[in-house]
Amino acid sequence: MALVFPCSPQIHAVLLVCLALLSFADGRKLLVVPMDGSHWFSMREVTDELWHKGHEIVVVAPEINLHIKAGENYVMKEYPVPFTKAELEGHVQAFVQVVFEERPFLERFVKIYERLKNTSNLFLATCSHLLYNKELIRYLEETKFDAVFMDPMVPCGQIIAEYLSIPSVFFLRGIPCGLDYQAIQCPNPPSYVPRIFTTNTDHMTFPQRVKNLLFSLLDLILCDFAYAPYTKLASEFLQRDITVTELLSHGSVWLMRTEFAIDYPKPLMPNIVTIGGINCAHKELSQEFEAMVNASGEHGFVVFSLGSMVSEIPMKNAKEIAEAFGTIPQTVFWRYTGETPPNLAKNTKLVKWLPQNDLLAHPKARAFITHGGSHGIYEGICNAVPMVLMPLFGDQMDNAKRIESRGAGVTLNIIEMTSKDLSDALNAVINEKSYKENINRLSALHLDRPIHPLDLAVHWVEFVMRHKGAPHLRPAAHDLNWIQYHSLDVIAFLLAVVLVTMFISLKCCLFCYRKCFYKKERVTKSSKSKTQ
């Protein structure tokens, strides 16, 4: 998809700039408000492709962030935030530490909740510093963008879209409390659409359906609680009352990283575009990795990564894992920056970073040990590599369940598992035919698509820029209140009509009956009196 020039990187860069400048005649201006973290990786693939198509891309990001770096294919506009790099990294480390701590369930829940609240406050402060950065906002006003491209998990970009009166395109895996489905007005029946954190599948027993409905109700409270500060911030900044649901309901197109070889089928709306697997393009391995891969011999290799956030784990867990790796004949590539476990076997290569998708695409890849992040599971499916899943937090438990319920992987609890559990799981996914067959089937379904998700995403961003939105995809449900949407007023009216009709009919019958009865009675009485 990307253009490739057979020349030096310098000439390549110059040519790309010239090409971009030339095509800016037809190009449009896109403002990108990404969310920090791994979410940005696949979003960036879309912005890169848009840049190659001649559009001007401006990325707005906090000065202090984890992954949003200056790039060749976009202009970066940074703004100051009230925390340091060390503080931000400290937050992440503290979060990971809490995840790995063995504590009673309730205590663990409270700790994780506190950490999430801290992270949420960090995001809120970042958003507030963006909105009240007068110089930056003036620049955004003057630049006359055609659209905003954003991750709606943090609704900051939509507040700006609203302020600048320009349309927006959302790019997301989903909003945990279901705010996305509320904002799209998409039906989402709890009877067969599993809620996040439940680890339910789409086929639920009665107790699972009870749990699912309870989680749906909890979602309402959670959404309200999590997004209330943004409601306040947006209302203050836009100087009118607006809720986050209403804000997000103005999104023109929702590019959702979902797809039904992995996710369970559920209702969609016309402005939802499914682009699951957008992150699966792979390139050739570097010489270093190619050499290591070739050295793995007939047994092939296993890839192990816990995602961009977790590259260190407590020694106790690391030792269990290292021991398990020693029991399998495959070479293991383990992305790990912590202290080397003393029992590390020879077949295990610790690397600070690994080209995960490129390794998985290699025919010698035998298994993928992953935390079950949405990018990871799509890379596993795209490349048809069976998985051992060690979910840590967020939607990872549910992603793991999706793979496991399809028979394409085994889920383990990284904190409680023993080295034998991991060794057994690896042996199963590598040697039992069913895992490979199932992942092959899922992969074939997933890859058999009429258009690549990246092209689809690019098309819809361009569509929104060209047509100044996509109002023809906005359902009229947005103009109805809850009672109207569910036709409760109409049902009440029709019931009233039926009842009134029945009442009048009954009264008429009674009236007629009494008239006849009264006559009869009178006749009987008079005849009686006559005989008397």
Q: Which residues are near its own copies by CB under 8 A?
A: 186-187, 189-192, 202-203, 206, 209-210, 213-214, 260-261, 264-271, 274, 444-445, 448-451, 455-456, 459-460, 463, 466-467, 470, 472-477, 479-480, 484-487, 489-491, 493-494
Q: Sign of torsion, CA 46 47 48 50?
A: positive
Name which of 200, 256, 266 is nearest 400 in CA terms: 200
Q: Which is nearer to its own copies, 207 or 342 (CB)?
A: 207
Render the burial of 386-407: b for 16+ CB within 10 Å, e for the rest: bbbbbbbbbbbbbbbbbbbbbb
Q: Which is nearer to its own copies, 3 or 451 (CB)?
A: 451
| Dist CA 280 CA 84 (whole Å) | 33
Q: Which is nearer to its own copies, 483 or 512 (CB)?
A: 483
Name which of 351, 395, 349 is nearest 376 in CA terms: 395
DSSP for 346-397 reads TTEEEES---HHHHHTSTTEEEEEE---HHHHHHHHHTT--EEE---STTHH
CB of 401 closer than 8 Å to CB of 315: no
- Give 194's DSSP letter: P
Q: Which is nearer to its own copies, 149 or 230 (CB)?
A: 149
Q: Which is nearer to its own copies, 12 or 449 (CB)?
A: 449
The minimum distance between CB 489 and its own copies, in angstroms, equals: 7
Helix (H) or strand (E) holding 303: strand 301-305
The minimum distance between CB 397 and its own copies, in angstroms, equals: 19
- CA distances for 59 relative to 63, 145, 321, angstroms: 12, 12, 40
* C-alpha gyration radius of the chain: 30
| Dist CA 69 CA 48 (whole Å) | 13
The minimum distance between CB 530 and its own copies, in angstroms, equals: 53
The minimum distance between CB 210 and its own copies, in angstroms, equals: 5
Is residue 306 helix, strand or coil?
strand
The arrangement of strands across the sheet holding 365-370 comes to 348-351, 331-335, 301-305, 365-370, 387-389, 409-411
Is residue 77 helix, strand or coil?
strand
The minimum distance between CB 138 and its own copies, in angstroms, equals: 33
Q: Which is nearer to its own copies, 265 or 363 (CB)?
A: 265
The minimum distance between CB 370 and its own copies, in angstroms, equals: 21
The minimum distance between CB 471 and its own copies, in angstroms, equals: 9
Is residue 336 helix, strand or coil?
coil
The minimum distance between CB 203 and its own copies, in angstroms, equals: 5
The first and second tokens of residue 496, run together, are 């009233």
The minimum distance between CB 261 and its own copies, in angstroms, equals: 6
The first and second tokens of residue 388, run together, are 């051992």
The minimum distance between CB 457 and its own copies, in angstroms, equals: 10
Name 169's bridge partners: 149, 253
The minimum distance between CB 388 and its own copies, in angstroms, equals: 23
Lookup result for tokens 């079950």: 372
The minimum distance between CB 180 and its own copies, in angstroms, equals: 15
Q: Which is nearer to its own copies, 154 or 461 (CB)?
A: 461
Q: Which is nearer to its own copies, 486 or 525 (CB)?
A: 486
Q: Which is nearer to its own copies, 61 or 262 (CB)?
A: 262
Q: Which is nearer to its own copies, 69 or 459 (CB)?
A: 459
Q: Which is nearer to its own copies, 466 or 514 (CB)?
A: 466
DSSP for 436-454 reads HHHHHHHHHHHH--SS-HH
Q: Which is nearer to its own copies, 210 or 523 (CB)?
A: 210
Is residue 62 helix, strand or coil?
strand
